[in-house]
Amino acid sequence: MSDVGDHVAPGEPGLPETPTEPAEGGSVASLEAERPSVEAVPREAPVPVAAPVEAPPAEPPTAESLVAEAPPVEAPPAAPPPVAEAPPAAPPTAESLIAEAPPVEAPPAAVRSVAIPAPGAATVPKAAGGPEPEAGRIVGGLVQQINADEIDLTLDDGRPAVIHRRNFDAAGTDPTEAVTPGDRLEGAILSREDPKSRVVLSRAWAQKKQAWSGLETVASDKVVVTGTVTAVAKRGVVVEVHGLRGFVPSSHLELDPPTDVSSYVGQTLDLRVLDIDPAKERLVLSRRAILMKERRRATHGVLTSLVVGEERTGRVSSLADYGAFVDLDGVTGLVHVSELAWGRVHRPGDIVSVGDEVKVKVLDVKVKRKRVSLSIRQLVPDPIAELVDGEVVSGPVTRLADFGAFVDVGGVEGLVHLSELAEHRIFTPEEVVSPGEQVRVKILSVDRKRRRIELSIRRAVSG
């Protein structure tokens, strides 16, 4: 056995010796006895020490320690917890996949029961006990049996149906008196079936729906309908049109609203639809619209028949400051105040009155503007044609002016100038004459074209 001290180089400080395999016959105890102690190292020798750093953990951390030391983190409510993906040890089977699959919530029953039919597909009725998808549809069938309470039918699709008496019509007609077996009837399907699994129909409802539909078409086409007045309302009358209840306001009964509408009850009138709303069951009609159309047609016919210069007979319908209106078979013409008489007219009421029957002459016709000019005076002789120059006549003083006085001679006015009122000089007509006074005048001149007549009082007196 070699000495252990032989392995230490001379001059080196005492370092721990590297243990070696003991030789044969040596023991571990002898080696431990020969190892130098740590205190034998000189203090002057520096001991190599590394910079202070965090030493890694002696042992690798486990999953439990990391979870325990990690700070608590709030996971979002909707996010699922992280699941570690690990490859399966063996390929999964169908049974294992089905067993491990999460349960799937079924959709609501309302969603599952909705079915969208293809375009043009026939509607299949639901089973008895649920609402009919075809409720309100009008169908037809043949009558099989009739009694006082109901009518049995077979629909075109072969299903049995029934119409109860209360659904036969709005008037409550006895079915046995209206139909016979083999007749064809139509009705609207109600949203239920009777205990005998028969389709319940309403003939009254079908008639009502068809009537409203027909009136809507009539209203859009402006077609005339016929209605019977059944009652008097507050501001008009109630009429029955195609089995429906309608209303005609008083202002739409005539061209001029009548004061008493009770006389219309029971009458049949031609009407036109003004307003219709099936949802609110509102129906408003008018007779005035038809009368106005008839009047316009008649007016156009009369206007085209009038000839300028012809004589017509009419009735004075109204008066105005500028003339009188005369009705000629539905056409209203105007007689201007200057055409009422040959003389001066202050007011039309001095010549004619409302309701008088007069003869008029047609002066002008404008068909497009519907204007007719008439004359009354041109149907009587013109008094100016009978006047002769130099003749002395009598007449009343009609009015006075600063320059003279006007005197009526045979229906026309003539002027007596201020210089012709008296032999002496005067300054105002009032010095000699007054309105309404009868005087004798001499005709000095007559201008028939300008319709001017010159008269003289002083010359009639002097002769």
Answer yes or no: do 390 and 429 share one domain: yes
Answer yes or no: do 412 and 400 share one domain: yes
CB atoms closer than 10 angstroms to residue 115: 6
Confidence band for 79, pLDDT divided at 50, 70 and 90: very low
Answer yes or no: do 329 and 359 share one domain: yes
Range of the domain at 143: 138-207
Answer yes or no: do 372 and 402 share one domain: no
Domain boundary among 207, 234, 249: 207
Q: Are 332 and 325 in contact (CB under 8 A)?
A: yes
Q: How many domains does the chain have?
A: 4
Output helix, strand, coil percentages for the chain, rounded to the nearest 5.
25, 30, 45
Answer yes or no: do 392 and 375 share one domain: no
Residue 235 within a domain: yes
Residue 287 within a domain: yes
Answer yes or no: do 396 and 439 share one domain: yes
Count how many residues are written for the chain: 463
**Greatest mean pLDDT range, 116-120, 175-179, 236-240:** 236-240
Residue 99 within a domain: no
Give the lowest-confidence range in 10-19, 88-97, 219-228, 440-449. 10-19
Q: Are 242 and 302 in contact (CB under 8 A)?
A: no
CATH of the domain at 255: 2.40.50.140
Residue 151 within a domain: yes
Confidence band for 463, pLDDT divided at 50, 70 and 90: low
Residue 83 within a domain: no
Answer yes or no: do 363 and 422 share one domain: no
Answer yes or no: do 316 and 339 share one domain: yes
Domain boundary among 207, 236, 258: 207
47-75: b (≥16 Cβ within 10 Å) or e: eeeeeeeeeeeeeeeeeeeeeeeeeeeee
Position 59 pLDDT exceeds 90: no
Answer yes or no: do 180 and 226 share one domain: no
Residue 315 within a domain: yes
pLDDT tens, position by position, 125-169 = 444 444 445 777 888 899 998 888 888 999 998 899 999 888 887
Position 343 pLDDT exceeds 90: no
Residue 164 within a domain: yes
CB atoms closer than 10 angstroms to residue 285: 27
DSSP letters spanning 383-411: GGGG--TT-EEEEEEEEEETTEEEEEETT
- Percent of the chain with pLDDT strictly greater than 70: 70
pTM of the model: 0.48
Answer yes or no: do 395 and 349 share one domain: no
Answer yes or no: do 199 and 182 share one domain: yes
Domain boundary among 178, 207, 236: 207
Answer yes or no: do 375 and 393 share one domain: no
Residue 71 within a domain: no
- The reported pLDDT for the residue numbered 322 is 94
